[in-house]
A = this chain, B = another copy of it.
Amino acid sequence: MRSSPARRATIQDVAQSAGVSVSAVSKVLRDAYGVSPEMRAKVTTAIEKLGYRPHAGARGMRGRSFTVGVVLTEMSSPFQPEVVDGINDQLESSPFQAIMTVGGANAERQQRSIEALVDRQVDGLILIAPFVRQPWLEKLAASIPTVVVARHGGGSSYDSVVDDDYEGARLVVDHLAGLGHQRIMHISHPSGGLKRPFVLSQTARCEGYVQAMNRLGLDADVIETTYSEQGGYQATVEALGRSVPPTAIFAGADIAALGALRAAEELGRQVPDDLTVVGYDNIYVTTIGRISLTTVDQSGQLTGTTSARLLLERIEGRSQPVHYVVAPRLIARSTSAPPAVHSGGRGGKRKR
């Protein structure tokens, strides 16, 4: 008459099987001070034999749960999964395990996701592009080690890893201006209610664009829609319908650039001959032949490994904040080229 069909082995069972005390087993498990080699051997054998695995919930009640929580904003964006891969790679060699939740688009749902993770007693948190309010974030980070990804402005109680979106935008503008473009339109995305300096990528890219344009003495021209195929499409249709349309479109995200490409195609503009289109993110599809989009790469992988490393340091006790900036890289492909020739001085636009 055994109890349940397949009860899980506990630390008790291991202790009994090895003929030692529970505390001794715990010591071995925790790699604590004061275990003889024989002790360790006996215990590990017993663990092996019983297929014992420590119960994270019980662990979390006293010490650590060896779990870190990752909150994503959206999985469909290709950048975030890349970051997650980086995190997992970095954690592989540590005793920590990452668990994720999807926060979703609004601050409230995001907050709920974060709290759910905290309820589950994670030892640390990595938040990707969160738009919860700053005071809430600071308070959260004061109570649990936290690393924030893709949100500018630093913060005093958490670490952060951000792409230098200002610089990325500058790279694009300089590239386009270098090709001879003057009327460069930028497609942006709502700021999510965050105010300077605690802004997400979209806002930083937009500001970087404006600054770079001003420095070159060019007029900034921003259309705010959303970072989506639809958004890019609409913004492009609107811009090309003007009496003096832009010669280049800089979309703040590749996905919007794809919409811009579709709009251009439908309106009979050849890319890059009649119109230059540039994106941002270097998502996978931009590389494939039919698209071959000029874009900016921010290494999601590197961002992920870095943030995991910072989080582990923080869990180990570091408390002064570290803010890490990842340098972006322009990847010129085949959707950018010099603008169409003007007949003479200023004149007409030629289209096919």
Contacts and interface: CB of A to CB of B under 8 A. Distances in A.
Interface size class of A (residues with CB under 8 A): 35 or more
A75 B75 contact: yes
A57 interface: yes
A56 interface: yes
Q: Which of A75, A139, A265 has most chain B Cβ within 10 Å?
A: A75
A238 interface: no
B6 A143 contact: yes
A289 interface: yes
B100 A100 contact: yes
Given A55-B121, A60-B57, A288-B229, A101 B100 contact: yes
Taken together, the copies of this chain in the complex come to: 2
B84 A75 contact: yes
A61 B259 CA distance: 50
Interface string A98-119: 1111101000000000011111
Contact of A97 (B5, B116, B290): B116
Interface of A: 5-6, 53-58, 60-61, 65, 67, 75-76, 78, 81, 84-85, 88, 97-102, 104, 115-121, 139, 142-143, 229, 258-259, 261-262, 265-266, 284-285, 287-291
